[in-house]
């Protein structure tokens, strides 16, 4: 099913940032995700929900340039013409992954260098792009640590000395420092205490709004989806079974599976 | 090894070929060297051979020397800056036996200088060849253990991580603490490990008129700096690269611009700083330069007093 949704500021930015067409990925015989198509507009926040094993992470990895899909295309529109991120050279794809978008992993260990200081973690993308002024790199890292509410005095500590919530916030700073247009997040609040989750969600909401970021957020938590996303995609067995504006999908679900999902939450 | 090498092909075949390696192996190494010279700082794989010396004794450097040496060459071998260490002596003897090579301790007389740990203090000149023994050719290895990944990082000049390492050093210690094998950017393109020479020697590689060849036996890599190649030590704009310096000159020859080693002179805590380049120090003393400790050192028979 296809729901056409007008972008928030279509007049300003008349082209989608991402255009996904019939993306599929298989693990042998098993379906990871199948035949997924959608568009993401600049500044838009899309949620992907679904039960465990429904293909959320698989899809996100295809979109973020980590795993090549077996079929379909992922078009990214940076400053110029849209690029099929899997037909450009690997060098170009790696450059895009370091500059044009960022990934916040569910497990901070996958997104951070655990034996590099917090400041070094945040500064890496700046050094990747060729920044060579130590004082300026440090200043920007410090600024970003403050924006994710990590005290400056922790700057030279390593992430393994941080709490789970701090590690997630550090991941976010590490990604956002290069001012990407797009962020992918896989269960950014997973595994955190409820109060820590709430603080992180608040922070994400503010950052996304202030920076005009587009984001794709995978979550199995419908409350998180409600709070952060403009639009929602519901997955089951690797397929998208329903998509639309978040409030519509949650308040008036059409697909039986979505009805089950939302009622399961309500009954808690 | 008891057979003396000979190029005669009369009745008895020599136990081994001129300069030990067979001609096919030498050609293979020379091809790798040509490629390395054509792409300064790029690590070229080669089929490293077993050598009659334990690995770690510089078999990569020895193979490079064996592939380029000829009867007209004069060889100098340095280990720890000195010509007279066991290692230097055995490598020199190896080429005296297998290649009938003339050998020297004088930097200016050598056409090939095989080295571990140092670049001579005396400036090199056009026509000379430096051969470096390299234990670990991959400057990114400690940061990225996977070969497939470091190859990509070099291919696409993704060197941000190298800079992160320097950043970490400054953040923790206030300065970059790497003193040996300090990474360099070659020709503005490849990051290269200069082998375990002190960072003091890094500037000598920059725009050197000599040809510089690097051989890593265990890791099977060869790389090179053709004459007059730009070699820049990695740093930050506001934390520029600096070489080591000492608060006192060489105790024997008074040199204040050479790399100094600390030497213990007695069991009562006596010590002095002397040039690590032993030939450089002797040359200076022969020319009449005297350090403050020269008299004491001569009295202790640490050096022969040279009468000017
Ligand atoms: N590396 C893999 N090898 C084989 N099968 C895999 C692999 N990764 C995922 N799968 C399978 O693909 C399907 C989708 O998995 P995926 O991890 O994308 O689900 P998910 O929606 O992210 O689940 P969760 O909420 O538990 O993280 C599942 O059937 C899963 O078993
Ligand atoms: Mg998942
Ligand atoms: Zn001296």
Mutate to test the interface with A, among B162, B236, B239 (most CBs of A within 10 A): B236
At A169, is the pLDDT very low, low, confident or very high (cuts 50, 70, 90)? very high
pLDDT of A8: 53
Q: Which residues line ligand 1 (CB under 6 A)?
A: A 27, 30, 32, 50, 52-58, 220
B57, B87 Cβ separation under 8 angstroms:
yes
pLDDT band at A162 (very low <50, low <70, confident <90, very high): very high
Residues B215, B59: Cα–Cα separation, whole Å: 8
What does the alpha-carbon distance between residue A131 and residue A214 come to, in Å, rounded to a whole number?
A: 25
Task: Read off the pLDDT of each residue in A201-227 and give the average, rounded to a whole number.
Answer: 90
Residues flanking ion ligand 2, Cβ below 5 Å: A 57
Q: What is the mean pLDDT of residues B226-245?
A: 97
DSSP annotation of B43: P
Partnered with residue B16 across adjacent β-strands are none
Question: What are the pLDDT digits (tens) for A54-80?
Answer: 999 999 999 999 999 999 999 999 888
B67, B69, B70, B73 alpha-carbon torsion, rounded to 10°: 170
Per-residue pLDDT, A62? 97
pLDDT of residue B9: 46
**pTM for the whole thing?**
0.87
* A26-36 residue pLDDT tens: 999 999 999 99
What the block records as the tokens of B17 is 């070929």
Examine the residue annotation and report whether B250 is marked as an active-site residue of this protein.
yes
Over the stretch B198-216, which tens digit does the pLDDT of each residue have?
Answer: 999 999 999 999 999 999 9
- The pLDDT assigned to B305 comes to 58
What atom in ligand 1 is closest to the CA of residue A58?
18
**CA angle, B163 then B166 then B170, to 5°:** 140
| DSSP code, position B41 | T
B281 a catalytic residue: yes
What's chain A's length in residues?
A: 268
Confidence of residue A267 (pLDDT cuts 50, 70, 90): very low
C-alpha span between B117 and B182 (Å, rounded): 12
Residue in chain A nearest B154 by alpha carbon: A91
Tell me what the pLDDT averaged over chain B comes to.
90
How confident is residue B223, by pLDDT bands cut at 50, 70 and 90?
Answer: very high
Closest CA to A262 of A225, A217, A215, A216: A225
Contact B251, B235 (CB under 8 A): no
Cα B110–chain centre separation: 14
- Ligand 1, atom 4, lies closest to the CA of A27
Per-residue confidence band for B123, with pLDDT thresholds at 50, 70 and 90: very high
Q: What is the pLDDT of residue B212?
A: 98
> CA of B156: which chain A residue's CA is closest?
A91
The per-residue pLDDT for A129 is: 92
Mark out chain B residues that contact chain A at CB-CB < 8 A: 152, 155-156, 158, 160-161, 163-164, 167-168, 170-172, 235-239
Reported as a single tens digit per residue, the pLDDT across A1-18 is 445 555 555 455 578 999
pLDDT for res A4: 55
ipTM metric? 0.87
Question: CB distance A133–B238 less than 8 Å?
Answer: yes
Q: What is the pLDDT of residue A198?
A: 85
Average model confidence (pLDDT) across chain A: 91
A32 alpha carbon – ligand 2 mean position (Å): 11
The stretch B269-277 carries a mean pLDDT of: 91
Please compute, for residue A60, the number of CA atoms within 13 A of its CA located in the half-sphere on the CB side: 29
Q: B289 or B84, which is more confident?
A: B289
Active-site hit among B41, B215, B251, B254: B41
Alpha-carbon distance of B263 to B254, in angstroms, equals: 15
Tell if the CB–CB gap between B160 and A129 is shorter than 8 Å.
Answer: yes
Q: Which of B217, B251, B253, B254 is catalytic?
A: B253
Q: Among A47, A54, A107, A219, say which to mutate for ligand 1: greatest number of ligand atoms within 8 Å of CB.
A: A54
pLDDT at B270: 84
Residue B54 pLDDT level (bands cut at 50, 70, 90): low
Give the tens place of pLDDT for each residue, B1-52.
444 444 444 445 556 788 888 999 999 999 999 999 999 999 999 998 888 7
What is the pLDDT at residue A254? 87
B168 and A120 in contact by Cβ < 8 A?
A: yes
Task: Identify the band that residue A100 occupies on the pLDDT scale cut at 50, 70 and 90.
Answer: very high
Q: Which residue in the set B164, B170, B239 is minimally distant from A127, CB to CB?
A: B164
Nearest protein CA to atom 12 of ligand 1, as residue:
A32
| Ligand showing the shortest atom-to-Cα distance for residue A29 | 1
CA distance B75 to B274: 25
Going by the DSSP 8-state scheme, the letter that residue B246 receives in this structure is: -
For B68, the enclosing helix (H) or strand (E) is helix B59-68
Tokens 């028979």, located at residue: B301
Task: Write out chain A residues lying below 8 Å of B161, CB-based.
Answer: 124, 127-128
- Whether A256 has a pLDDT exceeding 90, the answer reads no
Q: Which residues in A lie closer than 8 A to residue B171 (C-beta atoms)?
A: 117, 119-120, 138, 155-156
Phi, psi of B165 (to 5 degrees): -60, -45
Out of A131-140, A149-158, A249-258, B218-227, least confident range: A249-258
The answer to whether the beta carbons of residues A7 and A44 sit under 8 Å apart is yes
Burial class (CB in 10 A: 0-12, 13-18, 19+), A254: middle
| Cα–Cα distance measured from residue B154 to residue B185, given in angstroms and rounded to the nearest whole number | 11
The 3-state secondary structure of chain A, one letter per residue: CCCCCCCCCCCCCCCCCEEEEEEEEEECCEEEEEEEEEEECCCCEEEEECCCCCCHHHHHHHHCCCCCCCEEEEEEECCCCEEECCCCCHHHHHHHHHHCEEEECCCHHHHCCCCCCHHHHHHHHHHHCCCCCHHHHHHHHHHHHHHCCCCHHHCCCCHHHCCHHHHHHHHHHHHHCCCCCEEEEECCCCCCCHHHHHHHHHHHHHHHHHHCCEEEEECCCHHHHHHHCCEEEEEECCEEEEEEEHHHHHHCCCCHHHHHHHHHHHCC
Distance B274 CA to ligand 3 centre (A): 5
- Whether the predicted pLDDT of B251 surpasses 70: yes
Say which residues have a Cβ less than 8 Å from residue A201's Cβ, sequence separation at least 6.
A189, A224, A227, A228
Residues in Cβ contact with B32 at an 8 Å cutoff, skipping those fewer than 6 apart: B44, B45, B46, B222
Q: Is the pLDDT of residue A210 over 70?
A: yes
């Amino acid at each position: 099913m296809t729901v056409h949704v007008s972008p928030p500021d279509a007049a300003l930015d008349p082209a989608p940032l991402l255009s996904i067409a019939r993306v599929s990925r298989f693990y042998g015989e098993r379906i990871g995700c199948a035949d997924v198509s959608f568009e993401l507009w600049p500044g838009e926040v899309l949620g992907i929900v679904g039960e465990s094993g429904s293909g959320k992470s698989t899809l996100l990895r295809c979109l973020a340039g980590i795993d090549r899909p077996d079929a379909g295309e992922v078009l990214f529109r940076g400053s110029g013409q849209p690029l099929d991120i899997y037909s450009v050279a690997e060098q170009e794809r790696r450059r895009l992954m370091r500059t044009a978008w960022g990934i916040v992993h569910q497990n901070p260990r996958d997104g951070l260098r655990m034996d590099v200081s917090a400041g070094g973690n945040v500064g890496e993308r700046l050094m990747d792009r060729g920044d060579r002024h130590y004082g300026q790199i440090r200043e920007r890292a410090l600024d970003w640590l403050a924006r994710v509410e990590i005290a400056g005095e922790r700057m030279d500590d390593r992430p393994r000395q941080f709490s789970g919530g701090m590690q997630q916030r550090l991941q976010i700073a590490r990604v956002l420092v290069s001012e990407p247009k797009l962020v992918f997040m896989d269960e950014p609040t997973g595994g955190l205490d409820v109060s820590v989750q709430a603080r992180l969600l608040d922070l994400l909401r503010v950052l996304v709004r202030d920076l005009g970021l587009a984001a794709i957020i995978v979550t199995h938590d419908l409350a998180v989806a409600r709070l952060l996303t403009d639009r929602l995609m519901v997955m089951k067995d690797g397929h998208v079974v329903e998509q639309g504006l978040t409030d519509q999908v949650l308040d008036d679900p059409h697909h039986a599976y979505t009805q089950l999902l939302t009622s399961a939450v309500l009954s808690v | 090894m008891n057979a003396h090498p000979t190029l005669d092909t009369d009745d008895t075949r020599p136990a081994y070929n001129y300069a030990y390696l067979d001609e096919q192996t030498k050609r293979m190494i020379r091809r790798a060297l040509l490629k390395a010279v054509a792409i300064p700082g790029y690590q070229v794989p080669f089929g490293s051979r077993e050598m009659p010396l334990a690995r770690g004794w510089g078999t990569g450097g020895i193979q490079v020397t064996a592939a380029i040496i000829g009867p007209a060459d004069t060889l100098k071998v340095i280990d720890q800056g000195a010509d007279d260490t066991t290692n230097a002596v055995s490598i020199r003897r190896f080429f005296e036996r297998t290649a009938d090579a003339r050998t020297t301790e004088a930097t200016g007389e050598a056409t090939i200088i095989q080295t571990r740990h140092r670049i001579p203090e005396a400036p090199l000149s056009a026509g000379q060849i430096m051969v470096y023994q390299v234990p670990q050719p991959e400057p990114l290895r400690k940061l990225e253990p996977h070969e497939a990944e470091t190859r990509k990082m070099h291919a696409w000049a993704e060197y941000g991580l190298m800079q992160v390492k320097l950043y970490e050093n400054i953040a923790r210690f206030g300065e970059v603490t790497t003193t040996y094998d300090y990474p360099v950017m070659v020709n503005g393109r490849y990051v290269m490990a200069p082998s375990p020479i002190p960072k003091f020697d890094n500037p000598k590689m920059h725009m050197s008129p000599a040809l510089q060849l690097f051989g890593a036996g265990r890791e099977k890599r060869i790389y090179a700096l053709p004459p007059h190649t730009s070699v820049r030590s990695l740093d930050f704009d506001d934390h520029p690269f600096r070489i080591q310096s000492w608060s006192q000159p060489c105790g024997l020859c008074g040199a204040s611009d050479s790399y100094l080693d600390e030497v213990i002179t007695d069991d009562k805590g006596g010590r002095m700083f002397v040039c690590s380049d032993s030939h450089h120090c002797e040359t200076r003393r022969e020319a009449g330069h005297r350090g403050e400790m020269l008299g004491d050192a001569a009295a202790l028979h640490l050096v022969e007093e040279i009468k000017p």
